[in-house]
Amino acid sequence: MVFVCDSPVEVLMKVYWGDPREKLCEAIDSIPLSCIIVGNRGLGKLKRAIMGSVSNYVVNNGSCAVTVVKHHE
29-71 per-position pLDDT tens digit: 998 888 888 888 777 777 766 667 888 899 999 999 999 888 7
Give kind and range of the element (H or E) at residue 36.
strand 35-40
Return the top range by mean pLDDT from 2-11, 21-30, 36-45: 21-30
The DSSP call for residue 31 is T
**CB-CB contact of 23 with 53 (8 Å):** no
- pTM for the model stands at 0.72
Residue 3 confidence (pLDDT): 61
CB atoms within 10 A of CB 55: 22
Residue of higher predicted confidence among 16 and 12: 16
Give kind and range of the element (H or E) at residue 66.
strand 65-70
pLDDT at residue 4 greater than cutoff 70: no
Select from 52, 19, 57, 51 the least CA-distant residue to 38.
57
Residue range 18-24: mean pLDDT, rounded: 93
The DSSP call for residue 70 is E
